Structure 1
Amino acid sequence: MTSVSTERLDGVDGGVGLIRSAEQSRMRTIMMSSVIGTTVEWYDFLLYGVAAALIFKKLFFPAFDPLVGTLASLASFAAGFIARPLGGAIFGHFGDRVGRKTMLTITMFMMGGATFLIGLLPTYAQIGVWAPICLVTLRIVQGIGLGGEWGGAALMVVEHAPRNRRGWFGGVVQVGFPLGIVLSTAVFAAISRLPEADFMTWGWRLPFLVSIALVVVGLIIRLRVSESPEFLKAMKEEAPVKLPLLEVFRSYKRSFFVSVGLKISEVAWVYLLSVFVVMYGTQTVGISRGVMLNGVLIAAAVEFFTVPLAGYLSDVLGRRPLYFFGAVSTVLAAFPLFYLVRTGDATTVTITMVVCMSLGHAMLFGPQAAFIPELFGTKVRYSGASLGVQVAAAIGGGLTPIAATTLFATTGRIESVAALMAALGVITFIATLLAKETYRESLSAS
């Protein structure tokens, strides 16, 4: 009797072990797919930002005076952000009706194709005004693709994850962003070592052209992922909502505006650091391009650890405490940031970038992939989370570098830019006050 019982128990234990092993394998595939996919998407999107800050004004907008050329280059950078809400609305609609997986495949095709074509574009010297027109058009395609990417990638992981680990898994997915920064910045830093003539004629094209290889790898892995179980469960229970976006504003209006506020300081902070501060350091302070790019590179590399750490802590402490900490950090660091960069010392600049990126960005960005989707129900989660994040990205990431450049040019005082950054931190702090705590809630009950 004892031996039979033992065999039965062993069989049960073995079955449970196999189930757990299968679950762990499935989560690893989902995580790998999402991290690689988001890394490719962010690499493509951020590559443009580095190029806009350093070379596009010379290659595509040379007919303008230096200030107007800089603004025009940043405006083309902003076009991608302004297009992101459109991508969020389109892919959110079909993601809530058809599924998350299909939309993620399409967004990768869009982003990869647009980035590759930018690398083939003739410059202003070759085709005149058509060069910036084509550049901005491809940037808009990038924006639409990324607008649909983030929500789907975040949902695929968060909706697969156990309730008590959504922050951690979401934080790991967010590592795709600093990985994208590292790849795009490192590639440009390497290419920048070419002789100036080679860099300006063909060298700058290489980072855009090689992205096609990353897209192929991302697609192969992404196609292996199964559809979100939360989405499949919701579809079995009742028919999909006909107009998810309309339902967001009907039933989740507060969540939508809160999500915009939660995102706006984080996205403005990171793009001011990686775009405007790079321009300020190189063009105003006189720091070498290599020092500024290395500062961004090292700061992003540190986020490999601080972003998932923040996601993990949000599972233990809650989403709101991490957000309060991050928002306060952006307010307190806004003015010291520029004073420290103005020293021109390479070590000081690098440490400043690392601290500001980890405290002001990672503490907000890590919990975000779980926090914002948790504010919406499954039937409209793709639409609600995507649109809220992408509207904030259009304002905070696209328009803020232009506003900062205009403020600095108009006032001649970098403190005006610091005040803008601090004000955005206050907005995120208020949004956190208005947000409900979600880390212990079931996604099905949202």
Structure 2
Amino acid sequence: MTDESSGVMPLSAEDAQRQLRRAVIASTIGTTIEWYDFFLYSIVTGLVFAKLYFPESDPLVGTLQAFLIYAVGFIARPVGAAIFGHYGDRVGRKATLIVTLLTMGLATFAVAFVPTYASIGIWGAVILTVLRFIQGVGVGGEWGGSVLMSMEWARTNSHRGFVASWPQFGVPAGLFIANLAVLAMSEISGSAFLTWGWRVPFFMSIVLVAIGLYIRLNILETPIFAKLLAERKIEKTPMLEVIRRQPKDILYSALARMAEQAPFYIFTAFVFTYGVTNLGVSRNLLLIAVLVASVVEFGTIPFFGHLSDRIGRKRMYMIGAVVVGVFGFLYFAMVDTRNPMWIFAAIVLSLVPHSMLYGPQAAFIAESFTGRLRYSGASLGYQLASVIAGGPAPLIATALFAYYRSGYAIAAYILVCAVVSLFAAWRMGDYTNKDISREYDEAHALPDGGHASRPA
């Protein structure tokens, strides 16, 4: 029997709950795999790539060159958001997510076979750059689909923050597995880590891709997209349409991520360069600290997603931005002591303020866009932050330290990011507990004040 209003075959409460569980598991495991790939590259960048692909450069210059390749992946993310956002709103969430997984996974697998400078000269760095770009394209399309796959299966409006936070859980899970893989291979290979040990975690990613692909092939399309399809409300050019209708929502979504993304990559990627090169800290101490921090986020991300359902997405997010801005100074004060216990504590604690933003962020951004444009709008807004925040962050941090020789200069940069995010979050709408199954530009859609742009 079908729903007369939409032509969509309804599911029983039990079947819908089962699909929600499958969607959450598929999204979470998929994003874990994709972020394992992405973080693996970021960890190895600071530890290996400067030495193997830019051996003739000064150590600091070589690090900057390696992080430039690292930044290419972030520049590619909005490209992936545009490509996969279009197909996610045209073809569906499920099919698009399968392609993003393969794009990311195969590019990461190929990194394991890239020859070094000693073998083919600068062409090794060129190949790495190309693969990094492909990785970024895959991640650019991954986030929006994973969040929508979970959030659009939510049975009630009052739990969307919690449900949408689970794909975000894939970030600390991927960070944990990537750090664990590098730590394990560092121990197993010893002095041969620079020769072949670093390649093994990239090679192993193909197994994870196979698991993720199997899981994603066994889920249904979301009921909201199925309804849009049945009602023939699919846009021909969703990416262009969302830019025309909701440009402010895209901009504010990107700026709101400044306080979340820039500090995160400073705390989890740049810290390896800062700690090992400048402070003489053990590489393994940093790896273990990031491992523990990622485990802490296993609990804090869903907790703050749930809390946003109670106190409101916007309020939770603004509190998080303030905490991040203050914590940057505390972080470098602790790290600069060179005391292993304080360094360990600083890294572990750093991801708690991050969780205050990252937990509610998925629903906060995705809810801002009307259903038929949601994949495109949420993906573009989310991934544009990669160009202005995530990608440049390690580069800016490296440059600030090179000039000022002080971690507090980097903390000041984090504070500026926090202020920008605070303003952007204040300007965004709050759709906590509102119905997002109707199109926002329908006259009856959001009687209590949704602010999505109306047709001209």
Other-structure match for 2:151: 158
Query: Counterpart of 2:209 in structure 1: which amino acid?
Result: V
Offset, 1:411: 2.2
Q: Equivalent residue of 1:432, what SS?
A: helix
Please state if 1:287 is matched with 2:277: no
Number of the residue aligned with 2:65: 72
Specify the alignment match of 1:215 in structure 2.
209
Alignment of 1:109 onto 2:102: yes
**1:364 counterpart residue number:** 357
1:35 to 28, 35, 50: 28
Paired position in structure 1 for 2:324: 330
TM-score (norm 1): 0.94
Report whether the alignment pairs 1:310 with 2:304.
Answer: yes
2:146 is aligned with 1:179: no
Is 1:193 the counterpart of 2:192? The answer is no
User: Equivalent residue of 1:444, what SS?
Assistant: coil
Q: 2:153 aligns to what SS in structure 1?
A: coil
Name whichever of 60-69 and 186-195 sits farther off. 186-195
2:335 maps to a residue whose letter is V
CA distance, structure 1, for counterparts of residue 419 and residue 400 of structure 2: 19
TM-score (ref. length: structure 2):
0.92
Which of the residues 400, 403, 411 maps onto 2:404?
A: 411
Per-residue CA shift, 1:216-262, capped at 9, x if unaligned? 00000000111111111122223421221221121111111110112
Higher helix share: 1
2:54 matched to which residue of 1? 61
- Quote the Cα distance in structure 1 between the aligned partners of 2:259 and 2:137: 21
Kindly indicate whether residue 290 of structure 2 is the aligned counterpart of residue 296 of structure 1.
yes
Q: Secondary structure at the match of 1:293?
A: helix
1: CA distance, partners of 2:381 / 2:190: 42
C-alpha separation in 2, matches of 1:195 and 1:224: 38
Q: Percent identity?
A: 43
Q: Which structure 2 segments of 5+ residues have no match?
A: 1-10, 441-456
In the alignment, the residues of structure 2 paired with residue 431 and residue 123 of structure 1 have an alpha-carbon distance, to the nearest angstrom, of: 43
SS at match of 1:85: helix
Once residues 169 and 50 of structure 2 are traced to their aligned partners in structure 1, the CA distance between those partners, rounded to angstroms, is 30
**What secondary structure does 1:438 align onto?**
coil
- Structure 2 residue 134 is matched with structure 1 residue 141: yes
* Residue 412 (structure 1) shift: 2.0
The reply on whether 1:352 has 2:352 as its aligned counterpart is no
Q: For each residue in 1:107-141, what CA deviation from the matched residue of structure 2 results, as whole angstroms up to 9, or x when unmatched?
A: 11111101110011111111111100000100000
Q: Determine helix, strand or coil for the equivalent of 2:437.
A: helix
Q: 1: CA distance between counterparts of 2:170 and 2:225? A: 23
* Structure 1: gaps spanning 5 or more residues: 1-17
* Local SS of the residue matching 2:234: coil
Residue deviations 1:320-374, cap 9 Å, x none? 1211111001111111111100112222222212222112x10111111111010
Preserved CA contact (<8 Å) 1:30 1:225: yes
1:63 deviation in Å? 2.1
Contact 1:264–1:428 (CA under 8 A) maintained in structure 2: yes
Q: What's 1:125 paired with? A: 118
Coordinate RMSD, CA, aligned: 1.2
Deviation at 1:297, TM superposition (A): 0.9
User: How many aligned positions are there?
Assistant: 428
Aligned partner of 1:353: which letter? I
- Which residue does the alignment assign to 1:373? 366
